[in-house]
């Protein structure tokens, strides 16, 4: 029996490349669509080395409905994992029209083509940013949806589009995975998050500071109402996140799906403070991470971590990898990509 084909939009990106690696290891033939605006062709060549002959790549824009028609006609995928889109919160505030155009426009183009071609299995890359500010933790899927920026708004609108299509078409099933904070890298060190001068997430900044002696980690707020005064977040290993996509894909491909659209949190269910992350990363890289306490950023909150009980109940999934594993894999990936002396 020939292996099923899955289309991954945004498949060359940080999360997309890890999802592709997991699917390839599970025996799926995989088609990646990417225009490299948030990535590069390099992860694709490395993925091909993991599973020769099982990967196809198409360069194109997620808003191009004709391109989707061609992809469904040529490759006949049975399911889609949709990760393509713009992803910077700060950029979304500065350029909201671009985020609505690319993220929402891409979802509309994709789903129209899926319906035309009878492809009714979708796993969507959503975000915990759909919740916005909440004083209730852990955050469950029943929490109020009040995103605080255009990026979060665009993710929530995509979820609603897929839900409406699933309600209208009983053969269409979708699962939206609301990520918390992905970190880490593939154990092969072949793929991971790009380390660059414009790093903005905590772990990308930790890697940058660990690699460069003249860098210092900014910590935004040391007076939060938390045990050590720094903000608390839910960090999940990107390989656990990739496994969640595979599990969701298997569920909607099963004989008795019993759902139209389901939104599911993907995290560890445990909050980690910034200083906890710094201490663990220091052990992984074997050097001190200098930091400076800065004023709080507008829009930040003290504590955010996931209620992951629905993921356990519906998907049978739980995160397996520890904070030390996240730090070690993130560091070793950054170290492997760096030409700096160590």
Q: Of the residues 14, 99, 151, 291, which is catalytic?
A: 151
Distances 131 to 139, 147, 215, 299 between C-alpha atoms, Å: 8, 5, 33, 13
- Smallest CA-to-CA distance from 20 within 191, 177, 195 is with 191
Alpha helices in 147-237 (DSSP H): 150-168, 202-211
CA 332 – CA 222 distance, rounded (Å) = 28
Per the CB < 8 A criterion, the answer to whether 255 and 301 are in contact is no
Best CA proximity match to 67, nearest among 113, 117, 105 = 113
Q: Where are the beta strands (DSSP E) in the chain?
A: 5-9, 29-34, 55-59, 79-82, 121-127, 173-179, 181-183, 217-220, 232-233, 235-237, 261-266, 272-273, 291-294, 303-304
Instruction: Look up residue 63 and give its two tokens.
Output: 């808003």
Sign of the CA dihedral 194, 104, 61, 69?
A: positive
- Per the CB < 8 A criterion, the answer to whether 304 and 136 are in contact is no
Question: Pick from 69, 94, 68: which is nearest to 82 by CA?
Answer: 68
Return the structure tokens found at 229.
């005064």
Task: Decide if 151 is catalytic.
Answer: yes
Catalytic residues, by residue number, are 151
């Amino acid at each position: 029996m020939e292996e099923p084909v899955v289309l991954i939009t945004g498949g060359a990106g940080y999360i997309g490349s890890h999802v592709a690696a997991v699917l390839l290891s599970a025996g799926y033939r995989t088609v990646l669509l990417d225009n490299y605006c948030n990535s590069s062709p390099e992860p694709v060549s490395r993925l091909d080395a993991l599973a020769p002959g099982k990967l196809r790549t198409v360069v194109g824009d997620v808003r191009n409905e004709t391109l989707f028609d061609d992809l469904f006609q040529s490759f006949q995928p049975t399911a889609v994992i949709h990760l393509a889109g713009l992803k910077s919160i700060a950029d979304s505030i500065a350029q909201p029209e671009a985020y609505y155009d690319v993220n929402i426009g891409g979802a509309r183009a994709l789903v129209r083509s899926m319906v035309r071609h009878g492809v009714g299995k979708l796993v969507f890359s959503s975000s915990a940013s759909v919740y916005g500010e909440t004083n209730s933790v852990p955050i469950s899927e029943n929490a109020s949806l009040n995103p605080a920026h255009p990026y979060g708004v665009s993710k929530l609108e995509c979820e609603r589009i897929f839900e409406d299509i699933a309600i209208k078409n009983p053969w269409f099933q979708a699962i939206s995975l609301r990520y918390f904070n992905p970190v880490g890298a593939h154990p092969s060190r072949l793929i991971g998050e790009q380390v660059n001068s414009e790093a903005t997430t905590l772990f990308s900044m930790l890697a940058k500071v660990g690699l460069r002696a003249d860098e210092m980690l900014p910590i935004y707020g040391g007076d939060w109402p938390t045990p050590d005064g720094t903000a608390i977040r839910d960090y999940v290993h990107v390989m656990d996140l990739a496994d969640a996509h595979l599990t969701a894909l298997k569920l909607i491909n099963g004989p008795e799906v019993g759902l139209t659209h389901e939104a599911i949190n993907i995290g560890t269910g445990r909050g980690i403070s910034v200083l906890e992350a710094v201490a663990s990363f220091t052990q992984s890289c074997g050097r001190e991470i200098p930091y400076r306490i800065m004023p709080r950023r507008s829009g930040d909150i003290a504590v955010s971590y996931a209620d992951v009980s629905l993921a356990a109940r519906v998907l049978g999934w739980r995160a397996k990898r520890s904070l030390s594993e996240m730090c070690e894999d993130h560091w070793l990936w950054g170290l492997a990509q760096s030409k700096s002396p160590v």
